[in-house]
């Protein structure tokens, strides 16, 4: 995942680490600035925190201290600091892009940013404040950036944008790249006690799944009916079924075996697959995605989801390039150096990190 996607994520999904704040010293109130925006040091620290998490997932040996290893042919500490500076410049680039496109945040958008910041801050305050990140810095670096990102994206690729995407192109992309499918999950464990089922019961449940898949392929039943039948059979609180329309690939978050199964299926076909990690047997049905085109593109949110899939990489590359080529950017090296990556090393391994 590149750093732009990480910055626009809905929230922090990584485990939060305990740490200590950096020492005090010379003027460390700001990290970088240009003619129009001064980025507070707290925003840089937050970005450095994200970069440390990213480095933790990229090192070759997760059992060894992160800072004793390399990331993308750089020592980890250097990689983390460079990445945090990239994040910081991206914030400056987004601000500049807003001005270039004559965009500004509305009062309602500002209120929403304030509300979302308060909501998210309540979850992460205890950790981030310990590193020297204030609520205001967090809001600027995360929530406000995300809003500006979306606004710039729409101003470029939206219907009235500087480089609009036509309905015909959206339709073509949607039908070629999106998949419409449903699945019904049959747990292979006791849903009340979570105890393992015996072999006979597992065999029974798998046969049930196979039978329903055959009926679905023949068109003699529907996914909703199968979901309800499984709910009644297993005494579940809700039908264990899900309908999804999305791009299904290695980055979609679904198990690799499930992705491969769906990609190899035809519209109207149903198959079963055991997902070991979930200890479940799935009945999967693939639908004709073209029947969803009109409903998908008739709403602003549906259209935007397709547009994001279609233009996200292009937009990401453009904004990252502009961030790296920004002129008249002043970095406060004294402030940046006062917050080294070792700040984020878990206490129980801090002694091993340099």
Same-domain status, 222 and 323: no
Same-domain status, 38 and 135: yes
Q: Which of 10-19, 47-56, 94-103 has the lowest mean pLDDT?
A: 10-19
Distance from C-alpha of 254 to C-alpha of 252, rounded to nearest angstrom: 6
Same-domain status, 180 and 160: no
Write out the DSSP string of 200-219: HHHHHHHHHHHHHHHHHHHT
Same-domain status, 182 and 272: yes
Same-domain status, 288 and 311: no
Helix (H, G, I), strand (E, B) or coil at 331: strand
Residue 15 has pLDDT above 50, yes or no: no
Same-domain status, 18 and 158: yes
Same-domain status, 254 and 306: no
Tell which wins on pLDDT, 21 or 74: 74
Domain boundary among 273, 293, 313: 293
Same-domain status, 184 and 54: no
pLDDT of residue 36: 84
Domain boundary among 274, 293, 312: 293
Residue 26 has pLDDT above 70, yes or no: no
Same-domain status, 138 and 31: yes
pLDDT of residue 21: 37
Distance from C-alpha of 22 to C-alpha of 129, rounded to nearest angstrom: 11
Same-domain status, 21 and 78: yes
Residue-wise pLDDT for 180-214, tens only, equals: 999 999 999 999 999 999 999 999 999 999 999 99
Domain boundary among 261, 293, 325: 293
CATH code, 244: 3.10.50.40
Give the number of domains in the chain. Answer: 2
Write down the pTM of the prediction.
0.80
List of residues 6+ apart from 272 with CB closer than 8 A: 206, 209, 210, 213, 281, 282, 283, 284
Closest CA to 287 of 252, 238, 249, 248: 248
**Percent of the chain having pLDDT more than 70?**
91
Same-domain status, 12 and 156: yes
pLDDT of residue 16: 32
**For range 156-176, the mean pLDDT:** 96
Same-domain status, 9 and 75: yes
- What domain range is 149 assigned to? 3-165+302-352
């Amino acid at each position: 995942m590149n750093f732009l996607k990480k910055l626009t994520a809905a929230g922090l999904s990584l485990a939060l680490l305990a740490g200590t704040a950096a020492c005090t010293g010379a003027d460390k109130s700001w990290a970088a600035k240009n003619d129009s925006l001064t980025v507070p040091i707290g925003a840089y620290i937050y970005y450095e925190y994200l970069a440390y998490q990213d480095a933790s997932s990229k090192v070759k040996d997760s059992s060894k201290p992160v800072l004793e290893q390399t990331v993308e042919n750089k020592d980890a500490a250097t990689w983390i600091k460079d990445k945090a500076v990239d994040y910081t410049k991206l914030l400056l680039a987004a601000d500049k892009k807003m001005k270039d496109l004559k965009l500004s945040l509305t009062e309602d958008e500002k209120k929403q940013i304030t509300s979302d910041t308060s909501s998210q801050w309540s979850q992460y305050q205890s950790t981030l404040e310990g590193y020297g990140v204030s609520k205001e810095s967090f809001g600027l670096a995360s929530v406000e950036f995300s809003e500006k990102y979306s606004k710039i994206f729409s101003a470029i690729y939206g219907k009235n944008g500087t480089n609009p995407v036509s309905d015909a192109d959206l339709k073509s992309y949607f039908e070629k790249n999106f998949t419409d499918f449903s699945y019904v999950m049959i747990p292979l464990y006791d849903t009340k006690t979570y105890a393992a089922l015996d072999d006979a019961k597992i065999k029974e449940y798998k046969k049930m799944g196979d039978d329903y898949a055959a009926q679905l392929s023949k068109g003699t039943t529907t996914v909703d009916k199968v979901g309800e039948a499984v709910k009644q059979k297993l005494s579940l609180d809700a039908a264990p079924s899900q309908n999804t329309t999305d791009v299904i690939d290695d980055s979609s978050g679904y198990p690799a075996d499930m992705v491969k199964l769906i990609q190899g299926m035809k519209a109207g076909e149903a198959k079963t697959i055991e997902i070991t990690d979930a200890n479940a047997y799935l009945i999967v049905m693939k639908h004709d995605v073209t029947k969803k085109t009109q409903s998908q593109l008739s709403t602003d949110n549906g259209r935007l989801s397709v547009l994001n899939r279609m233009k996200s990489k292009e937009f990401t590359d453009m904004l990252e390039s502009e961030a790296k080529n920004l002129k008249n950017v002043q970095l406060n090296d004294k402030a940046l150096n006062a917050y080294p990556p070792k700040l984020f090393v878990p206490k129980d391994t801090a002694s091993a990190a340099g």
